[in-house]
Structure formats: structure tokens, C-alpha cells
Structure 1
Amino acid sequence: MQETPYDFEAGAILLIDKPLTWTSFDVVKKTKFALRIKKIGHAGTLDPLATGLLILCTGKFTKRIEEIQAQEKEYTGTFVLGHTTPSFDLETEIDSTSATDHLTEEMLTEAAASFLGEIDQTPPIYSAVKVNGERAYALARRGEEAEIKSKRVTFKQFELTSIEGNQVHFKVVCSKGTYIRSLARDYGVKLGCGAYLSMLVRTRIGDYRLEDAMNLEQLQELREKQLAHHDRHTGA
């Protein structure tokens, strides 16, 4: 992570490595307080149980949020085969178990290849998708059912990077609006054994990369250095 001079209030694009369990809104709120700025937003939500690249835009650069959100995304992560959860990840408990002993590497690879290109995908019920004006996850946590419409998404790459027992490690390059939790569900359905997402890292959005991101402590340190530099040169 290179230190770059930012004018946070006027406008900046900040690459943040989102911590595990934090919501994207938590990061925005923390950053807004740390930098003491008025205008800030994020360009693409990450689930609380995902980590990796979250792009924040401040000041005049908030106008670029939609442009950044529209760019392709890259993820790495892990699917656990033979189990399902209602949320398709670790937010909820396992609700079904199936055998996976019969699955071969060839079967796993062929199933992954079937998702390449443009497909219809239904977002998870535990998601921020709005149903009749309310977030789907709010309905799900109350035990209510909701009909969520599918949408067209594109998978440019779905590569299995390694296989350890019933854990499949992967890399995905996909379009805006894709849910990797839904991919876990659909992949498990394709294999006939069920699957859920146990780990997810967003590594890239367009040309913005995780290796260039900073954590929140580094952001705070950068802010303090810039304030000290400003004070030295203004005699404050």
C-alpha cells in the first residue's frame, strides 16, 4: 500500500481492506468519523462475512460510485460441499447434509465450467435486495418468505484453484450484481449434494486491486500524518 496525498473532503477514492464481520456501512461510518468528512459512500457492498476490497468515494468522487460499481469483480473463496445453510454461508446453521464421496475432480471442474457466460441468478433471501420496499434479509430473519426475481449475470471465470476433501477453493471473475453465495447454492444443486460459502475475499473491482488497499488503522495513520504535515506548513 503506497501512501498517497488525499484531499478527503474535496474528493478521493479510497481502497479499503474490509475486516471480517464488519458491514460495508460500518466501514463507511468509521471512515466518515475518522476523516471528519461530510460526503462519503461505498461502491459495491461486501457481506459481513466477506473480506477484501471495498472502495469508498468521498466528496466530488461520490459521483463515480455507479461507474465503479458497474465494473467486473474478482473473488477468491471456499465452498463447502455436502451441506447447505438458509443464508448460503456461515451466517446461519447447517440445515441439510449429503454425501460427497462419489464426486470426482472431473465432476467438480465440469460443474464449474457450466456457469461460464451469461446466466440467470436468483439473489439469496438473506441479501439487501428490496422486496416490496423492504430488505430481503429483514424478512428472512423474521422467518417470512419472499419471492426474489432472478437477474442476468455473467461469469467470465470460475476456476477451481484447489480441492481439499469437501472444500473447494475457487477464483471467480464476474459482472456487477453477482452473488457468490448464490453461486455456492447453484453449484451445490448442480452437483446434487448442496454447498455453502465458507470464505470470500474480493480481490479486484475493475483495475482497483486488493493489494493496493489499506486497512482502517493505516487510513487513520495516513490522516494523522497529513494533519501533522499541514500543521507544520501552516504554523498551526
Structure 2
Amino acid sequence: MNDQLLSQNSELRTQNSSRTHGLLNIAKPAGVSSRHVVTQLEHALKPLAVGHAGTLDPMATGVLVVGVGRGTKLIDYLHRFPKTYRASFLLGRSSDTEDITGNVTMLTDARAPSRAELDAAVPMFLGTIQQQPPAFSALKVAGKRAYKLARKGKKVELNARPVDVHRLEITRYEYPELQAEIECSSGTYIRSLGRDLARAVGSEAAMSVLSRTVIGPFLLSQAVAPEQINKDNLLEHLLPSLLAVGAMQRTPLSEQQVAELTATGVLFDLPLEATQFASDAEVAGIAPDGRLFAVLTPSRGDRWKVKVLVGAGGPPTADES
């Protein structure tokens, strides 16, 4: 009898875990990697899946959005949000890592650029720009992480790639320290932005502070320390998966449509004509309770298929909470 009860309780826990999904707005502390934070949450929330969007270097702090359960399937959508950072740079010095955690070299002939020179250089780094990533980065070169090659003393040359810088504002400057606030796309290296801004005025720079304050709707002022999260209070902190899809077009789903999607992965009776959408279009299917149920994409004719199935469950939407 006891064995039967234990089996039933185990099955119930598994069912509840499979239905639990959402997002966590985590305040990453300095001195640990993003992976370390995820591992910490994995232990706290086992057996739920946990994954993060937008890696922060160990020295950096700030917003780290974490997917929980089937919310991990939405990580790619989180990368589409613009991000805002506050950063400090020390001019007149260079670093192999482009920040103060590396080998920092003082320039013997450093000059102190004026605030006017720096302000005049800022427009060069707005809009879509070509940025060369740092050698000490997680990008891959011939299948290997660039930073691993750089640590071995091997020469690493990464090709420049386009990034979007929506805003770059110098908030304070007193040589050698420059403080700035940056709003940019995913894939932008803030330390490289400081490097290039300094070079534009005849100097070099090493980043000394970095904090991510915003990812889309996720604010640092509302973030929670990772050690505060556990199985007992998870639902108090879990945010709706719907937040991940931003302004994606939405369509309501009936209970019958939800059942059809669950069983077959396709729908034919949406109030949308699939033929009017591009093949890579995406629509958020919203369950009757207001929660995100699936991301749908057009197939052919009036046929829609599931691209990401989040499923039932998750915390209430903003209107319900």
C-alpha cells in the first residue's frame, strides 16, 4: 500500500512538473558565470528544465532571464528583445580581454580626450554597425570557443559582424573613467563598443563595470536573486511564458482547438488565412485562460502547424495576477 501511494505521489509530481512553465527575472551577481546561476536553479527546481537567455560574463551583473519547464523552448524569442546596459570604461589602457579581468596595459603616451571629442564620436556607433567581437568570447572558431584558444596564447581573429546600437549615451566622464548607458541588440559586445569609442578619439579602453538593466519587459528593479528561488516559492516568482513573444500577433484558441493542437500539432480552423502570411511568419496561440499555449506557423492553404508547444499550465497572465 505504501509503495502504491509513493508511486501515485511520484506520478503526480511528474505531472505537475510537466505543466509548470514560465520565466524568471533573475538578478545575476558578480563573480559567477551565467551557467553557474542556471546550475544553481537546476538544483533548486529539479526535475524542471532550466535555461537562460543572454549570457553575462562573470564580472557583469544584472538581468538574466531564465526559462523554466517548457518556457525553455522560448529562449530564442527572448534574444529578439533589445537590451540596456550601464557600463564604465577606463581610458588610457588596453586589455587582452577588453576588460579589467585580463592583462591590463597602461598606455605610455595616453592623452585625455575631451568630453566634446567623445560626444562627437558617439554617432559613429549608432544604428547598424560592424563590430569585431573580442578574442576572449564564447564565439566559435573552427568548432572551438574563441576564449579557450586565446587563453592558450593562440592568435584569434574574429570577423566583424553587424549589430544594432539603438542608443549610446555618455552619462559621466572624468578621465580616465567614462560611464555610459547603451541600448542594443543581442550579440553586441559592450566591452568592444567601449574599445572602439576610445580608439575613435585616439585612445584605448578597458571595461571596468557592466550591469544589464533591461531585457525587453524584464527590469533589473524587479529581478530576484537566484538564491531566493526554490520549489516552494517558484510560482510566486514565475512570470508568464507569454512575455517571451513580445508583440507577436496573437490569435485566441478554443478548448477544442487546444485539444486538436495537443493531439495532432496542426489546425485548420483559425480565423486567419495562412496563405496571407510569409512562410516564416509566427502567431501566438492563446488558450482560453489567456496563457500562451503555442507558437504557430503557416503550412499550406489554411493549415497551421505548431512551431513551439508550450502547453497548459504556467502562472496567470498580467491581467489575472
TM-score interval w.r.t. the shorter chain? 0.7 to 0.9
**Matching residue of 1:219:** 229
Is 1:152 the counterpart of 2:162? The answer is yes
TM-score relative to the length of structure 2: 0.65
Q: Give distance in 2, aligned partners of 1:49 and 1:225.
A: 28
The 8 Å contact of residues 42 and 57 in structure 1, kept in 2 or not, is answered as yes
C-alpha displacement of 1:226: 6.1
From the superposition, tell whether residues 66 and 187 of structure 1 become closer, same or farther in structure 2 (CA, over 3 Å).
same
Q: For 1:114, what is the secondary structure of its paired residue?
A: helix
**Matching residue of 1:163:** 173
**Matching residue of 1:32:** 42
* Equivalences for residues 1-236 of structure 1 within 5 A: 10-97=20-107, 98-101=109-112, 103-220=113-230, 223-225=231-233
The 8 Å contact of residues 8 and 35 in structure 1, kept in 2 or not, is answered as no
Q: Pick the structure with greater CA Rg.
A: 2
Deviates more, 1:168-177 or 1:210-219: 210-219
The 8 Å contact of residues 188 and 196 in structure 1, kept in 2 or not, is answered as no
C-alpha displacement of 1:8: 6.9
TM-score relative to the length of structure 1: 0.88
Higher relative contact order structure (alpha carbons within 8 Å, sequence separation ≥ 6): 1
What stretches of structure 1 of length at least 5 have no aligned partner?
A: 1-6, 228-236
C-alpha displacement of 1:225: 4.4
Deviating above 6 A after TM superposition, structure 1's stretches of 4 or more consecutive aligned residues are none
Q: Give distance in 1, aligned partners of 2:87 and 2:234.
A: 36
What stretches of structure 2 of length at least 5 have no aligned partner?
A: 1-15, 236-321
The root-mean-square deviation of aligned C-alpha atoms, in Å, is 1.6
The 8 Å contact of residues 57 and 64 in structure 1, kept in 2 or not, is answered as yes
Deviates more, 1:43-52 or 1:105-114: 105-114
The 8 Å contact of residues 17 and 48 in structure 2, kept in 1 or not, is answered as no
Percent identity at matched positions? 38
